[in-house]
Every structure is written in structure tokens, then in C-alpha cells.
Chains A and B, each alone.
Chain A
Amino acid sequence: MLHVPPRQVPPLADLLTVDSLCVSFGRDLPEGTAVRGVSFSLQAGRCLAIVGGSGSGKSVTSRAIVGLAGRRAHVHARQLNFAGTDLIGLDDRSWQRVRGKEIGFVLQDALVGLDPLRPVGKEIGEALLLHHAVASGEELERRVVALLELVGVPEAEVKARQLPHQLSGGQRQRSLIAAALALDPRILIADEPTTALDVTVQAQVLGLLEETKVRGKALILISHDLAVVSRIADEVLVMHEGEVVERGSADQVFQDPQHAYTRKLLDAVPSARPRGSRLSLLPAARPPQPQSRSLEQLPARLPSTFPSIVLSAANLVKRFKGPDGVLRTVVDGVSFELRSGETLGVVGESGSGKSTMARMALALDLPDDGAVLFQGQAWTTLTDRERRARRRAISVIYQDPLSSFDPRWTVGRIISDSLASDVLTRGERDQRVIQLLDLVGLSPAFLNRRPLELSGGQRQRVAIARAIAPRPAVIVCDEPFSALDVLIQAQVLDLLADLKAHLNMSYIFISHDLGVVRHLSDRVMVMRQGRVVETGTRDEIFLNPRTDYTKGLIAAVPRLARGWAANRSFSRL
């Protein structure tokens, strides 16, 4: 534990006062303004949540508080006061005394928040060394291990000497929190602390943050996910396009949202709404136009002799050689069937073999044992050459669309490239691309844009247009939402549901987010450590789970705790 005597803070004194904070970038023009007139105050032992979609200015606000908004940022405020210290106009040296010691900051992106070349313990010890909090190397080591134990990292002594990539995502996030807590700062700011984590780990990290609050620290929690925030927050600020659109106690905001944007955010949480309801306010994707000849050859219109099972896997096994040279079985005897027009949801914690299973379904990795049949014929047992002809009948949507696009290609070329080669003339191809863009709700104006000029949601839409371009029978979606915020996620979820209804495609839908899986799937397969734990219809799995593992997964899903009682009854897994 930390050996710092409790500070005497008057119960209602403001620890942090922010009044009319404005942050702008570049040449200080109105259009470059990321944060406009944000005001709030924070007391010890309280948690303020700042929520909003991407680009709402919530991260910039938090960074401005620790003076890290960036070199090109202009920060103005009527008042930016921390425990009697005016933070505006602090010089570098004074900032260094505040950062880490008085205000701890946990950065977004836990996976890359630690220096990949240095042992985790060194990173945590850095804060202690910088502020001369330890007298000897021995004490440093002891404090680091104690911190790792405090945040619940198992085998703390071993982990302290390991490099970040040798730790799991959850352990890395905890280590970052440990580093931020090292000097027992009075305020802890956590920017999207759970976004990259799967549900069980997410619940653990939230529990840790809640404990920190209970220990009397002030907490600023930033998230796009209201379900996450609803557990801990005392007060909520909703930000949209740099402004606070709504503020109030957690009860008030979650039970009786006043602003339309807040309601939109609340509605976008998949677990909060019944299946089949629309999550976004955007118009539905257009059904295919009757005159569009090219969509007539979709799988649904294929002759009725077409088998109803599109893809079937029998007893798939995949082993990889680990760094120590020992073979590890990543996928161990997985079998499943995917019927025409069906969505099979695959859930499980990270490392459960979901993605490897998907790569085998796509025949990008070949199974060491077992085989996949596609449209009733051999698939993984074919040679690459034989498979190539049918490759277009199965598509994939990746987690990070940006890295799956050639950044130099235009949207038009990206989509056109995956059109079936039987679309011959240039005019026909162009027309098809425009139709596809229309189908995913993008205008032809996007044809000449490049991936970097698109927003996250637009990119994922282009990825979907590309995936449906060759008219596949099956689309494999591997964590298609984990890079998106809730609002964009809601739009894309709706789009996938619409396309499914219009085009009668089959999906394999992989996600660690049980909310979205529940929203979209007909049947669900639960995976753990390479094995299928449980398979069943959506309702069987979610309403009546048979195994403890599935029950645990479902229990760990953050739900909007709209009532005070529900908010209190949060349990740590």
C-alpha cells in the first residue's frame, strides 16, 4: 500500500476549478477550436465523467488540465485552478512538479501507453524517481511491486521485470494506472481506460478505479461509453463538438436526459435496447433499387438447390509455436455450421482463438487438423490456385479499416478493386461502385477521397462496401467496432442489420462486446482458450446461459445503471 498520510481536505473544497476553458489548434481560428467554454469543479472523493463521441473535445479537455494539449494548442480559461495553484501560465519546471505528483494521468490506448523497450517496473518507478520519492534502489523495487499488487497485477515481481508486450492488455492498463497512482496524486484522470479491453478485464479495471475513488481521490473519467461511466460517476458532463451540452448528477443524466445528443448517446448503447431496434438516428441504408440489374445475382437468388448450410467447420485445430519453441494449441477442436442468411456471433475474451478461427474460415490460415467446407465443397483442403476462383464468395471486415486500405488509393479504386472481374467495362464498374456507396449510405462525392480523409465511421462503411462488392455469400466481421465510438458503432450496426435483411448474406460476427453480438446475432458461439464452451440461439445464450464462463461474461457487460441502487450494487469480478 501507499505510505502517504491522508491529506486534510475540507469536505467540500474544490480541488480543481475549471472555468470557461477554451482550447484551439493551429492559428487560433474559430474553426480550429476543439474545446469551447468548458467549466466544472471537482472535489476529493468524487468522480466526474466526461462523455461524448470522438472529436467531442473530451480528451483535449483532460490533456489541457495537465498542460499536455500539445505544442500547437492554445489554451485559454477564465480560471484553471488546482488546490490554490493557477495552472495557466505555469512554466515547464512547475508543470513537472504537478504532473504525476498532484495529478495522475492515465492515457488513452493502454496497449501503446508504455514504452515498449523498457520493463514495466521501470516505467512505474520513473514517477517515483522523478519526484525523488524513494531513497534507494531497494525501496524503489519494493514500492513498484507494492503498486502493481495494489492494482491487482498477479505475480507482481515477475511482471515488473517484463516488457509491456509480455503483459496482457488488462495488465498493461493496470500498470499504467499503477504508474499514475505511484505518488498518490490527489486527482486521477483516466482517458478511455477500458476501451481496448474485453468485458471481464474492463470490469476489473472499473472496480480498481472505483476503489481509488473510495480511497478519497478525485477522479475524472473520460469515455464514449455511457455504460462504463454510469457505474462510477457522481457527476456527468456530456460534450459535443467542443461544448458541454448537458451536465448534472449521474442519476439525473442517465434517468432523465435533457439534451437530444445525450439521448442519442444513451440509445446507442446496444445492451440498452432490444434487438431489432435501430440504434442510430441516421436513415436506414437504402434497399437495392429494383432497376439495379447487378444486384439480382446475389446468393439469395441462386437456384434453390443451393445448400442451406453455407459454411461448415469440423474439428478445427490450429497450433502455433511460441517464443519458447513450444507448440501451443490456439484453436482446439472447433466445429460450427453457418446457414444461409444467418448471423453467427462468436464471443470470448481476448486470446480465446476467435480471430484464428476466423482466419481459418477464410482459409487465410489453414487448420492443422479438421477442415472447412464452403458451399458444400472442400475449402481449406484445396490448393491456393483452386481456392482463388471462389475467394470472392467470402469477404472480411477487419477491426481497423484504415490499416486494411492502401492509403494512396481512392475510395473508388478500393471498392472497384474488389468487384468481380466479370464486370467488364469501366462504365459498368464505376456505376457499381456508386451503387455500393449508396448502399452503405455514402454519396458519390466520396469516390475520390482517400482513407485518411475519412472519419472512422466512413472508413468502416467503405470497408463494408468493399466487403459486399464481390457479392459474397459470407462476410466475416472480426471485431468491426472496437475502433469506433458508440455513435458510429450504432450507425454501422444498423447498416449491417439492414444489409443482412436486403441482401440475405451470412455473417460470422466476432466481438468481445456482448452487447453488439446480442444485437446482431441469430446464433452465438462462446469460445474460451480455443474451445467452444457453448453454442445456442441468441436467447438461449443470453437469457439462459448454461456454463459459468458464459454467465461470467454476461455479468461483466457494463449496463447503463440508470438508478442509484443499481449504481451501488456494482460488483467486482
Chain B
Amino acid sequence: MMPVNIPAHNRLGWLAGRLVSGASVMWLAATFTFLVQCLLPGDRAQIIINMTSGNVGEAPPGELAAVNAKYGFDQPLVLQYVKYIWGILHGDLGQSYQQHRPVVDIIAEQIGPTIILALAALIAAWVIAVMTTVLIAGRDNMWSTLLSGMQVFLATVPPYWLATILLVVFTVQLRIFPVIGGNSPVGLVLPTIALALELSGFLGQIVRSEFTRVLEQPFVMSSRARGMGELGVRFRHVLRHAALPGITLSGWAIGKLLSGAILIEAVFARQGLGGVLVAATSSRDVPVVSGAILISAGLFAITSMVVDLTYRIVDPRIKMT
């Protein structure tokens, strides 16, 4: 629920500010990837020729000149930079050296499953963190000790290790899930859990410490004195406060989940950006890697905007300025 007394122009101003800062993040990322492309050791034309022909030796100057002319490598850097930025503005991230296709197409084909995995993991992490927190915070019994120990353990376990263990236990031993699930919802379960558990440990610890603090606040006792039951108090009052630091953390978590997803995809042999990136990096297909970095920067800018907006909805005290 939005507070009633915030003028509309403030909200628009906030949005405009966020868009400008998102755009500058994108611009910095683009400049960075451009510089990396130019400054990386090794002549780009040489790399392209070697990639196509499969040879390792130096190419004849004529061939080099042809490639340089085709990709515009012989033009001044400033011009190349302007063209690069211009291309990005028109949705053109360049051509893959290896596949000779637009980078945008390659990434667009693969990014869907990765984003789905990352979002599924974020939601799963939140659900696990909230459920355990609401159950255990501010109670001292065996379950609370056990579950809070579990949270610490999960926060320290690397996802790829967890992924391997899950794979062995649930597909090879118990045969509950298929080894290769493809893009079906069933195939999403294990990768999501593998990716989400570590984050749920982090989120859980942060939400729980805030939850315990808020449980002691006077307004909580006020609502108990009004006749509200324990679950009502926990869900309606305390959780909202306790979620705030977790929401802040979620922006960072999305970035972490996207990079984690690449590893998990490799372990589960899932379709996604992971395979493309691994292949592109090992064969020095720089435009694809740069494109992926740019897309990630864009996703990150969008996510942090969404996180900010969510925070403001949950905590209406913050003014839209």
C-alpha cells in the first residue's frame, strides 16, 4: 500500500533518477567491454582467422587486412567505440567470431532457462528462509537450535558441491529425478534447490536476527495486547520488518545467482547461458562474452530498481526522492 501523501511528481522523479543511474551502469559496462576487446593481448583478426581455419600459425597479411576491413578493426579506436555504442543502442552486440551470427541471437536463445533458474532459486531461497525463520526465531527449543545450525551450514556450502551431492543422491541412488531434465519443470527442481540452499542460509540468518530484534519491539506487544495470536503477530507485523534487510540483499543475490546458475547448468548439463559462456570464453569469442556481461549489467540494473521499489512498498516511510 502506497502512502497517501507522496506527490506524484516525486514518484516520477524517483523513477527518472533510477533510469538515469541504470543507463550509466550500462554505459560503463559497455565501455569496459569495449576496452577489454581492444586491449586483450593477441590480434583480433588473427584470432578470428585461426578460429575459422583451425590453424595456429600466423596468417598472411592479405588475409589479416581483409578481416580487419570486414570487422572495422582498421578504423581509429574512437570511431570503433562510437560504432560499438551506436550498435548497442540499436540492439546490436556484434557478431560472434565463432558462429558468425549476431551475439544478440545467441544470447537470446539461451538466456531464458538461466533467468528462470535464477528467479526460481531466489523464490525458493526466500520461501525456505521465511518458513524456517517464522518457525524458529525467538523460540528456544531443540528445533530452533537445529534449524539455525542448519542455516549456518547451508550458508557455507558451495552450490556446485551441493549440486553434485544432490545429483548423486536423488538421481543416481534414489532415482527420484531424471539425470537430465531438460527444460521441463521436473528438471528444474534439483538445480533450483542446489542454487537456492546457500542463499537461503544467508537470507535466513539475516532475516532471523532482525526478526528476533523486532519481536521485542513495543508495537509487537501492543498487538498481542489487542488479542492477536502468535502466528498473526509473526506474519502480519514482524515479518514485514524482518524482510527489509533481506530485500536489500536480494539485489546482490540476483547477481550471485546468475553467476551461480552458470556453474549449476554445467553440473546438471542444463541448457542455458552457462554452456555458451564456457564455450565462448575458452575459444576467445570475445563479442559473446562481452554481450553476456552487458546483458548481466542490464539485468542487474533492472533488478536493483525492482528491489528498490519493493523496499519502498514494504517500508512506506522512505520518501520517493
Q: Which residues of A contact B230 (CB under 8 A)?
A: 92
Indicate if the CB atoms of A112 and B217 lie closer than 8 Å: yes
| Contact between A126 and B316, CB atoms less than 8 A apart | no
Contact A105 B225 (CB under 8 A): yes
Q: Does A529 contact B (CB under 8 A)?
A: no
A107 and B319 contacting across the interface, CB-CB below 8 Å: no
Contacts of B223 in A (CB 8 A): 115, 123, 126
- Inter-chain contact count A-B, CB under 8 Å? 86
Q: Once the chains are docked, how many angstroms separate the CA of A176 from the CA of B226?
A: 10
Answer yes or no: A101 CB below 8 A from chain B CBs: yes
- Residues in chain B near residue A445, CB distance under 8 A: none
Residue-wise interface mask of B (221-258) relative to A, using a CB-CB cutoff of 8 A (1 in contact, 0 not): 11111111110100001001100000000000000000
Q: Does A2 contact B (CB under 8 A)?
A: no
- Residues on A with C-beta less than 8 A from B221 are 63, 68, 107
Name B67-89 residues within 8 Å CB distance of A.
none
Q: Which single member of B4, B7, B240, B315 contacts A162 (CB below 8 Å)?
A: B4
- CB-defined contacts of B240 to chain A, threshold 8 Å: 117
A119-B1, A166-B5, A324-B7 known; A112-B227 Cβ under 8 A: no
Are B3 and A163 closer than 8 Å at their CB atoms?
yes
Contact A165 B218, CB 8 Å, known A97-B227, A100-B227: no
Q: Encode contact with A along B1-12: 1 for CB under 8 Å, 0 otherwise.
A: 101110100000
Query: CB-CB contacts of A108-123 with B at 8 A, as 1s and 0s?
Result: 1100111111110001
Q: Which residues of chain A in 90-147 are interfacial with respect to chain B, using CB atoms and an 8 Å cutoff?
A: 92-93, 95-101, 104-105, 107-109, 112-119, 123, 126-127, 130-131
Question: A112-B218, A112-B219 in contact; A180/B3 too (CB < 8 A)?
Answer: no
Contact check, A116 vs B225: say whether CB atoms are below 8 A apart.
no
B244 to chain A, nearest CB (A): 9
Residues of A within 8 A of B317 (CB): 116-117, 163, 165
Measured CA separation A46–B237 after assembly (Å): 34
Contact at B222–A162, with CB atoms within 8 Å? no
**What residue of chain A has the Cβ atom nearest to residue B219's Cβ?**
A115
Tell whether A161 is near chain B: CB-to-CB under 8 Å.
yes
**Contact at A113–B5, with CB atoms within 8 Å?**
no
Is the CB of A179 closer than 8 A to any CB of chain B?
Answer: yes
Question: In the bound complex, do residue B218 and residue A127 qualify as a contact, i.e. CB atoms below 8 Å apart?
Answer: no
- Does A5 make an interface contact (CB < 8 A)? no
**B226: A residues at CB distance < 8 A:** 99-100, 105, 126-127, 130, 179-180, 182
Cα of A66 to Cα of B227 in the assembled complex, Å: 10
What's the least CB distance linking B45 to chain A, in Å? 56
Complex interface: chain A residues within 8 A of B237 (CB): 115, 118
A96 partner, pick from B4, B228, B321, beta carbons under 8 A: B228
Contact with A along B197-235 (1 / 0, CB 8 A): 000000000000000000001110111111111101000
Q: Quick check: is B128 within 8 A (CB to CB) of the other chain?
A: no
What distance in Å separates the Cβ of B275 from its nearest Cβ neighbour in chain A? 44
- Within the assembled complex, what's the spacing in Å between the Cα atoms of A115 and B187? 43
Residues of A near B222 (CB, < 8 A) are 105, 107, 113-115, 123, 176, 179
Cβ contact of A116, chosen from B219, B228, B229, cutoff 8 A: B219
Question: Are A99 and B227 interface neighbours, CB within 8 A?
Answer: yes
Contact partners of B224 in chain A: CB under 8 A: 68, 99
Judged by a CB distance under 8 angstroms, whether A323 is at the interface is yes
Segment 97-133 of B: residues with Cβ below 8 Å from A = none
Residue among B4, B218, B227, B229 making CB contact with A113, cutoff 8 Å = B218
What class of interface size applies to chain A in its complex with B?
A: 35 or more
B93 to chain A minimum Cβ distance, whole angstroms, is 41
User: What residues of A have a CB within 8 angstroms of the CB of B227 in the complex?
Assistant: 95-101, 127, 130-131
Residues in B whose Cβ lies below 8 Å from that of A163: 3, 316-317
CA–CA, A131 to B229, complex, Å? 11
Most A CB atoms within 10 A — which of B219, B222, B314, B321? B222
For the complex, give the distance between the alpha carbons of A114 and B223 in Å. Answer: 8
Residues of B within 8 Å of A116, CB to CB, are 219, 317
Proximity bits, B127-143, A CB within 8 Å = 1, else 0: 00000000000000000
Q: Which residues of A contact B314 (CB under 8 A)?
A: 117
In angstroms, Cα B221 to Cα A93, docked, is 16
Q: Which residues of A contact B4 (CB under 8 A)?
A: 158, 161-162
Q: Are A107 and B218 in contact (CB under 8 A)?
A: yes
Q: Known: A130-B232, A163-B317, A324-B7. Contact between A114 and B225, CB under 8 A?
A: no
Of A98, A117, A123, which is within 8 A of B316 by CB?
A117
Q: Which of A51-100 contact B (CB under 8 A)?
A: 63, 66, 68, 92-93, 95-100
Smallest CB separation, A307 vs chain B (Å): 46
Q: What's the Cα separation between A360 and B217 when bound, in Å?
A: 33
CA separation between A96 and B321, bound complex, in Å? 41
Give the residue name and chain of the B residue nearest to A189 (CB).
B225
Near B by CB (< 8 A), chain A positions 165-191 give: 165-166, 176, 179-180, 182
Cα distance, A258 to B185, chains bound together (Å): 79
Residues of A within 8 A of B (CB): 63, 66, 68, 92-93, 95-101, 104-105, 107-109, 112-119, 123, 126-127, 130-131, 158, 161-163, 165-166, 176, 179-180, 182, 323-324
Give 7 CB contacts A-B under 8 Å. A92-B229, A96-B227, A96-B229, A105-B226, A107-B225, A115-B219, A119-B1
**List of 3 A-B pairs having minimum Cβ-Cβ separation, nearest first:** A100-B227, A105-B225, A100-B226
Not counting A114-B222, A162-B3, a sample of 11 additional A-B residue pairs whose C-beta atoms are within 8 angstroms of each other reads: A63-B221, A95-B227, A99-B226, A99-B227, A101-B227, A105-B222, A107-B221, A112-B217, A115-B223, A117-B314, A127-B227
